[in-house]
Chain A
């Protein structure tokens, strides 16, 4: 392990994949990451204060030139060598307050890569948990229960049938959102290649949705999607409840994959130390080169 801070600092750039716990904002997580990195860097061997040349004495006679230790460069006077405002960090996907899971941060020049990943609109996979039988005012478990209903009649096959219908309608929408005329030759060429991304970055599109766990009244749904946001997913659970002739609210949201980054790559908050972060940067760099995630997207094909 290299202990010299400038060497470490030179390598400290790129994309890092962290695990975001629920009930913590992304902004707060970013501040904590910056704080941890700066703290770790200042504990390494930092640059010692540089001496300065002092010219003293009577200018009309002989001046004495001497090299003195410079107190103006001492860490106790100018502050620590690595300061929090000097470290640029930005996120490439935004997860809401209640969502946990994979989150990508760009550090230093990695902010550029983070921007490319964001503009590439990679697909994300969520595991969303819900409970049948109760509707809350904000559709999440934190809200007030406003309605109760029976749920015994909802079986696994009911849910699966509804979800596959929903997936089919979304795939139809996907071609409509591509920005080309559906009757044209270009549309045919696009459709031939498989799944495509929407031209608009605001409208959520679901590519795949299925029920992975059904233990009534609890259920877990896996969603592959683009352009989604937290309230959209929460509303989706509410809607599923209504369509199944019952009610439902969401209990937890977890992002398990973002482009090629999975939960196993994500770094837990307690593991944020300089050696772990450097290792994570290298792993993420490898994944990015395999995915070709550096370059801005040119065509609309999904991955």
Chain B
């Protein structure tokens, strides 16, 4: 059974090769059909016209070759495909695309460089540099599916909504998927934020530029996070808005992680809600990091987070810097002490 299937595959493959060769020959010699007709009718004449098989062939037939067989990875095509060569010159990581989105590589291979040239020039005109363009293509190779007219419409929409050129180039450079969404979808997404947080137009632009990925982020997850902050952490709607404007990234974190950090800050470290709203970036740090540093400060007796009392430790400086700076400047101890403490946990 397997042998039969293999044989069938082989014949199918050779048939395909033959058809492709025929097609390429037809392109080269448009009157090939005529020749066949003549030779069919006059066999004797053909024998006279056609050179003998023993004579050396001067015509170049090296372009007639079999198809590239299915390969292990895209590297087999790299020396032949101009598109891939140009993309690599630009700095696009083809290997990363192949690993994450294998079907996108077939799309790229089908395109000629002329098809994608327009897109690259378009991004360049938006003000993106080479590294930003390669980042965009590496993360969203599907961008070539969109026509240039569509991309133009989407940019015009942003300009119509009073985004300046710098803002647009930042948005496109930071969020590779932005241009893959239709104008209607982007409008809905921006509207969602404006309605949920009661933002003014200027504030919507501010968060879209500060964290472009947030706008196209999965809305269900954002809703879960809003629920967690509102109901489980008891932040008021105005607090939610302030957190969004100060640290929009928080809404993209996982709910579990957000709750863990909050629980440690509020219940163990006794940090008030107002203090968290003042510096929302402390919520972006993991509970593990908060716990390690807090316990070290507790051990040294320096856990004093009230700004009105002496020996006050600012929350952001506690978690922000690397371990060395934290141990020497915040905890007034040494790095070795801190490392030994970490091993004692």
Q: Which chain A residues border B84 with CB–CB below 8 Å?
A: 71, 77
Task: Report the separation of the CA atoms of residues A252 and B98 in the bound assembly, to the nearest whole angstrom.
Answer: 44
Known A79-B99, A100-B345, A268-B339; judge A74-B79 contact (CB<8 A): no
Report B-chain residues with C-beta under 8 Å of the C-beta of A80: 95
What is the CB-to-nearest-CB distance from A52 to chain B, in angstroms, rounded to a whole number?
A: 7
Residues of A within 8 Å of B, CB-based: how many?
28
Inter-chain contact B56/A60, CB cutoff 8 Å: yes
A29 to B201, CA, bound (A): 46
Cβ 8 A contact of B95, one of A59, A78, A252: A78
Known: A21-B345, A78-B73, A268-B343. A58 touches B62 (CB 8 A): yes
Which of B92, B94, B96 has most chain A Cβ within 10 Å? B94
- Report the bound CA distance from A70 to B94 in whole Å: 15
Within 8 A of A (CB), among B94-117: 94-96, 98-99
Smallest distance from the beta carbon of A55 to chain B beta carbons, Å? Answer: 10
CA distance A185 to B62 in the complex (A): 86
Q: How far is the CB of A13 from chain B (nearest CB, A)?
A: 26
Chain A residue with Cβ nearest B95: A79
Answer yes or no: A75 CB below 8 A from chain B CBs.
Answer: yes
Indicate if the CB atoms of A76 and B56 lie closer than 8 Å: no
A270 within 8 A of B: yes
Roughly how many angstroms separate A70 CA and B88 CA in the complex, as a whole number? 12
- Contact A59-B60, Cβ < 8 Å, known A70-B79, A78-B73, A268-B342: yes
**Which residue on chain B has the smallest CB distance to residue A59?**
B62
The distance from the CB of B250 to the nearest CB of chain A, in whole angstroms, is: 23
Whether B93 lies near A266 (C-beta < 8 A) is no
Whether the Cβ atoms of B88 and A77 lie closer than 8 Å is yes
A19-45 interface code vs B (CB 8 A; 1 in, 0 out):
101110000000000000000000000
- Within the complex, the shortest CB–CB distance from B202 to chain A, in Å, comes to 41
Judge if A3 is at the interface, Cβ distance under 8 Å. Answer: no
Q: Judge whether B339 and A58 touch: CB under 8 Å.
A: no
Across the interface, B78 reaches (CB within 8 A) one of A21, A60, A71, namely: A71
B91 within 8 A of A: yes
Is A76 within 8 A of B94, CB to CB?
yes
Bound Cα distance A263, B73 (Å):
44
Q: Which residues of A contact B345 (CB under 8 A)?
A: 21-22, 100, 252, 254
- A60-B56, A71-B88, A72-B76 known; A77+B342 contact, CB < 8 A: no
A148 smallest CB distance to B (angstroms): 21
Task: Digitize B177-212: 1 where CB-to-A-CB distance is under 8 Å, 0 elsewhere.
Answer: 000000000000000000000000000000000000
* Min CB–CB distance B207 → chain A (angstroms): 32
- If A60-B56, A60-B60, A80-B95 touch, does A74 touch B78 (CB 8 Å cutoff)? yes
Question: CB of B74 within 8 A of chain A?
Answer: yes
CB < 8 Å: which of A22, A61, A71, A266 contacts B79?
Answer: A71
B74 and chain A: residue at smallest CB distance: A77
Interface set, chain A 54-68, CB cutoff 8 A to B: 58-61, 68
Asked whether A72 and B88 contact (CB < 8 A) given A266-B343, A268-B339, A268-B342, the answer is no
- Residue on B nearest A54 in the bound complex, by CB: B79
Q: Does A73 contact B (CB under 8 A)?
A: yes
The chain B residue sitting closest to A101, CB to CB, is B343
With a CB–CB cut-off of 8 A, which chain A residues contact B288? 21, 23
Q: Which residue of B lies closest to A55 (CB)?
A: B62
Provide the bound-state CA to CA distance between A263 and B78, in Å.
50
Q: Is the CB of A74 within 8 A of B57?
A: no
| In the assembled complex, B58 has its CB within 8 A of some CB on chain A | yes
B78 lies within 8 A of A77 (CB): yes
- A153 CB to closest chain B CB (Å) equals 30
Contact indicator B75/A73 (Cβ below 8 Å): yes
B59 at the interface (CB under 8 A from A): yes
**B242 in the interface (beta carbon within 8 A):** no
Given A21-B288, A71-B88, A80-B95, are A52 and B79 also a contact pair (CB < 8 Å)? yes
Q: B-facing mask of A187-227, CB < 8 A → 1, else 0?
A: 00000000000000000000000000000000000000000
Q: Which of A245-262 contact B (CB under 8 A)?
A: 252, 254
Contacts of B78 in A (CB 8 A): 71-72, 74, 77
Asked whether A72 lies within 8 Å of B56 as measured between CB atoms, the reply is no
Interchain CA distance A19-B345 in the complex, whole Å? 10
B303 interface contact, C-beta 8 A = no
Q: Is B323 an interface residue (CB 8 A)?
A: yes
Min C-beta distance of B137 to chain A, whole Å? 12
Q: Which residue of B lies closest to A22 (CB)?
A: B345
**A75 vs B73: C-alpha distance when bound (angstroms):** 13
Q: Digitize B310-345: 1 where CB-to-A-CB distance is under 8 Å, 0 elsewhere.
A: 000000000000010000000000000001001111
The answer to whether B323 and A270 have CB atoms under 8 Å apart is: yes
Nearest chain A residue, comparing its CB with the CB of B98: A79
With both chains docked as a complex, state the minimum distance between the C-beta of B321 and any C-beta of chain A, in angstroms. 13
Q: Does B219 contact A (CB under 8 A)?
A: no
Contacts of B58 in A (CB 8 A): 60-61
Q: How far apart are A255's CB and chain B's nearest CB, in angstroms?
A: 11
16 A-B pairs, CB-CB below 8 angstroms? A21-B288, A58-B60, A59-B61, A60-B58, A61-B58, A72-B78, A73-B75, A74-B78, A76-B88, A76-B94, A77-B88, A78-B95, A79-B96, A254-B344, A254-B345, A270-B323
Q: Which 8 A-B pairs have the closest CB atoms?
A: A79-B95, A71-B78, A72-B75, A58-B60, A72-B78, A78-B75, A77-B78, A77-B94
* Further pairs besides A58-B60, A270-B323: 18, Cβ < 8 Å: A21-B288, A22-B345, A59-B61, A59-B62, A61-B58, A70-B79, A71-B84, A72-B79, A74-B78, A74-B88, A75-B95, A76-B94, A76-B95, A77-B74, A77-B78, A77-B84, A254-B345, A268-B339
